Amino acid sequence: MNMLPLRVNNVTKIFKNSKGQEFKAVDGVSLDIEPGKIFGLLGPNGAGKSTLINMISGILLANDGNIEVFGLDVKKDANKTKQLIGVVPQEIVMEMAFTVEEVLYYFCGMYGVPRHERKERIKAVLEDLGLADKIHEKARSLSGGMKRRLMIAKAILHKPKLLILDEPSAGVDVSLRQKIWSLVRRLNDEGTTIVFTTHYLEEAEQLCDSITLIDHGHVIKSGKLKGIQQEFSKNSIHFELFDRSVAPLAGVVEVGVEYEYPITTNLATDMAKLTSHYNHNLKSIRSEAASLEHIFLKLTNNGS
């Protein structure tokens, strides 16, 4: 039995629109996620990330391929795999009539947490998330950021081995985002494998061991973050300009707010060529590792 926390094997999902036309939201995607890692699933809007997460969570059936969580098939062993996974969905949803404690109490029960353990667990999780003083408040009266934390609390109460977070920091302020990521790091240190999607690429850069970039339902790049960064950094110089209307040097490519110039002879000569052409218009110039944003834009063709 393969005991990888998550193995996605050639998975395809096809949707039909109201006119009966087929659309492949996920097309032959394969992923292997190693135990104890933080894994980033990145891609532009509509890339197929949430569809893939829904299939991993067992709420959407794949048309083709299979998904295993700790060696168990998500379709055949749905309830066992759901027990192993904690999911923080993108949308904030909850039973609005209940207090925070009630929401979590019944959620614990739905995941099989024995009655005598529930209150302790709820207390500990709420303290971790800075919501301990809100325990008796109605869930609907919480602020947006607090509701987001409550969503995270729901997902981690049953101590899942694999935690999936779909855009967990969307719409939360910087301070809360930092708290969420520090909790994610701590859970990871305790052995939980983390899979998350995010639009905050700099955070993926800080947190992830490995990433997969998806676009139009296809995996366009997958691997260790550092390796990918090295691959995209070698043989090119990145620079920014004060005045972007200046005629570009031949071979320069625009990548987002930056420009990229391939090293043709050697680094020193090409640097000199660039500084001579752009002169005082150069705002910054570097040949270090490419940023994830740069790689993302380049691979999704938004930066050229």
Partner 1 sequence: MVLNMNTNMWALYAREVKRFQKIWLDTIFNPIVSIALYLGVFGIVTAGREVGSLPYLTFVYSGLLAMLVINNSFSNPSFALVISKNLGNIIDLQLAPIAVWRIGIAYALAAFTRGVFALVVALLATIWFIPGLGLPSHPIYFVIGLFLTGLEFGMLGVAFGFWAKNFEALTFMTSFVMQPMIFLAGVFYPIASLPQPWTTISLFNPIHHNINFFRYSLTGYSDLNPLVSLVVILAFSAVFFVAMQLAAKRTIVVK
Does position 87 interact with partner 1 (CB under 8 A)? The reply is yes
- Shortest CA distance to 25 belongs to which of 11, 40, 39? 11
Cβ(118)–Cβ(108) below 8 Å: yes
Phi and psi torsions of 113, nearest 5°: -70, 125
Contacting partner 1 (CB under 8 A), which of 121, 148, 149, 158?
158
In one letter, which amino acid is 75? K
Contacting partner 1 (CB under 8 A), which of 2, 76, 96, 224?
96
Phi and psi torsions of 229, nearest 5°: -60, -40
Does position 3 interact with partner 1 (CB under 8 A)? The reply is no
Report the nearest approach of partner 1 to the CB of residue 83 (Å): 4
| Cα angle: 193, vertex 200, 172; to 5 degrees | 90
Cβ(123)–Cβ(200) below 8 Å: no
Stretch that binds partner 1, among 4-12, 108-116, 217-225, 239-247 (CB under 8 A): 108-116
Would you list the DSSP string of 155-171? Answer: HHTT--SEEEEESTTTT
Does position 91 interact with partner 1 (CB under 8 A)? The reply is yes
Contacting partner 1 (CB under 8 A), which of 18, 21, 45, 112?
112
Cβ(215)–Cβ(44) below 8 Å: yes
Contacting partner 1 (CB under 8 A), which of 10, 23, 59, 133?
59
Residue 94 or 282 having the CB closest to partner 1: 94
Residues 6+ apart with CB under 8 A from 244: none
Cβ(279)–Cβ(239) below 8 Å: no
Residue 58 or 145 having the CB closest to partner 1: 58
CA 65 to chain centre: 22
Contacting partner 1 (CB under 8 A), which of 17, 21, 45, 79?
79
Half-sphere exposure of 201 (CA within 13 A, CB side): 15
Stretch that binds partner 1, among 91-99, 126-134, 197-205, 287-295 (CB under 8 A): 91-99
Does position 147 interact with partner 1 (CB under 8 A)? The reply is no
Residue ranges in 222-251 that form contacts with partner 1 under rule CB under 8 A: none
Residue 87 or 204 having the CB closest to partner 1: 87
Site string for partner 1, 164-203 (x = CB under 8 A): ----------------------------------------
Binding residues (CB under 8 A) for partner 1: these are: 54, 57-61, 78-80, 82-85, 87, 89, 91, 93-98, 102, 106-115, 154, 158
